[in-house]
Amino acid sequence: MIKRLTVRLLILPIQFYRAAISPHFPPSCRFTPTCSQYAIEAIQRHGPLRGMWLTLRRLSRCHPWGGSGYDPVP
């Protein structure tokens, strides 16, 4: 029960970002799925700790020299 609550609390700011902030900027994500979708999937699939770790690793690659393309959640 605590794990599900933590997952929901971690996903909530991502959903807020996607609904309120992201629409005001042009699409610029280098990866498919987008980094926000990747974060949601990683947290749901792997739980809060590993999901956040995977998300941070993905975000660290999100720069002009970090590559691009299809990068699914493991």
The kind and range of the H/E element at 53 are helix 35-60
For residue 3, pLDDT over 90 is answered with no
In a domain, 21, yes or no: no
Domain span including residue 47: 1-10+28-64
- Phi then psi for residue 29, to 5 deg, are -70, 135
Nearest C-alpha neighbor of 60 from the set 33, 20, 31: 31
**Range with the lowest mean pLDDT among 34-38, 52-56, 65-69?**
65-69
Q: Count how many domains the chain has.
A: 1
In a domain, 32, yes or no: yes
pTM of the model: 0.91
In a domain, 39, yes or no: yes
